[in-house]
Amino acid sequence: MSLDHPLNSLGFAKPPAETRVVVAMSGGVDSSAVAAQLASEGYDVVGVTLQLYDHGAALAKKGACCAGRDIHDARRVAETMGFPHYVLDYENTFRAAVMDEFADAYLAGATPVPCIRCNERVKFKDLLNTAHDLDADCMATGHYIQRKDGVAGPELHMAADHARDQSYFLFSTTAEQLAYLRFPLGHLESKAETRALAAKFGLTVADKPDSQDICFVPNGNYAAVIEKLRPGAADPGEIVDMEGRVLGEHRGVIHYTIGQRRGLGIGGLDDPLYVVKLDAELKRVVVGPKEALSTRMVPLREINWLGDAPLDSRAEWHVMVKVRSTRAPRRAILRPLSATTATVELLSPEEGVSPGQACVFYEGEGSRVLGGGWVWRG
């Protein structure tokens, strides 16, 4: 390899034909467009699709990734563009690393985000190791996020299209992983550009609808999945107010979420009540007024820090944070307790913050992602 060769579009000083890239292919339009574009540029592309659960049961359901039809769609893209494609059975790994924790977290009254754990424990761990085993120079995905070269190394940045930005779900990407990953769609201004790219290459997935559900949760019915994973989990119990007065009965803690108002079955009250706490141990759903949902202090653990200086090198960091993927970042003060734990003080209260959610950090100005952590009870 000549050191004088100009950098190719993936950042390597050699021709595309000598650069092997594994593309994580879900069968959707995003990863398909990435694979097709890289293949058209002459890269040595290898497509890999993960079978994450029994797709025989998933064939009848729409709106989720990695089902049987999606594996077929990924294979067709590879055939169209002329690169090899492999399907890896990660069903047991996925259940142990993602689904079991999802069920246990819900049973404990938390609000888990399994897509983050899947990226952290499966796609950017086991699949990334597979890419190394295939002697790939890098691994590319269809995620909407940007990787930029910084003074201290690669940096993670929000996507150019903030409406599609997936940084909330990728905060746990480590610096070592970031050095190996590529996100070719992160700079695009809209999803329409991605679909146009897929159409340019004649891909049948160009107009395929976006995934909507968590891949193993059909139609958003969390409770049904948890009951299947943990039989007998939906034990009934009491609905109580914040002083412990019994207001009614519920049909299982797993059927409720923090901030829920409808479907509580405790009508006839002067003021609306919301779920403010789930006490799985006592099998209680605690309700209260809307203001009881407001939170300013958020304890975090399992922090992944992507800043240039160590997290605990300062007493506090003034950052922007997201505690929900659908909400805009808000100003906060991050106070480290160790290299992996901290307390976040929100400068304006947030409603419905729950253990199990992620809290993601951003630069006060600009698009850089500084990492994030997991909300817990403290």
Residue ranges for the binding site? 24-31, 50, 142
Element (H, E) at 117: helix 114-118
Q: Is the distance from CB of 130 to CB of 88 less than 8 angstroms?
A: yes
| CA-based nearest residue to 363, from 326, 334, 323, 324 | 334
Count the Cβ atoms, other than its own, within 10 Å of residue 289: 13
Q: Is 215 a known active-site residue?
A: yes
Q: What is the largest CA-CA distance in the chain?
A: 77
Q: Is the distance from CB of 247 to CB of 272 less than 8 angstroms?
A: no
The DSSP 8-state label assigned to residue 97 in this structure reads I
> Pairing between strand 44-51 and 85-89?
parallel
| Strand ranges for the chain from DSSP E | 20-24, 44-51, 85-89, 138-140, 145-150, 153-158, 181-182, 237-240, 246-250, 274-279, 284-288, 294-305, 317-322, 330-336, 342-351, 358-362, 368-375
| Identity at 153, one-letter amino acid code | G
**Burial of 306 (C-beta count, 10 Å sphere; 0-12/13-18/19+):** buried
Q: To which residue do tokens 């809290």 refer?
A: 359
| CA-based nearest residue to 237, from 257, 253, 216 | 253
* Strand order, beta sheet including 44-51: 85-89, 44-51, 20-24, 138-140, 181-182
355 phi and psi, to 5 degrees? -55, 140
Round to whole Å and give the CA distance between 112 and 374: 9
Q: How far is CA 280 from the centre of its chain?
A: 25
Round to whole Å and give the CA distance between 23 and 57: 26
Q: Of 65, 66, 115, 118, which residue is the catalytic one?
A: 118
Q: Of 65, 115, 215, 359, which residue is the catalytic one?
A: 215
Catalytic residues: 118, 215
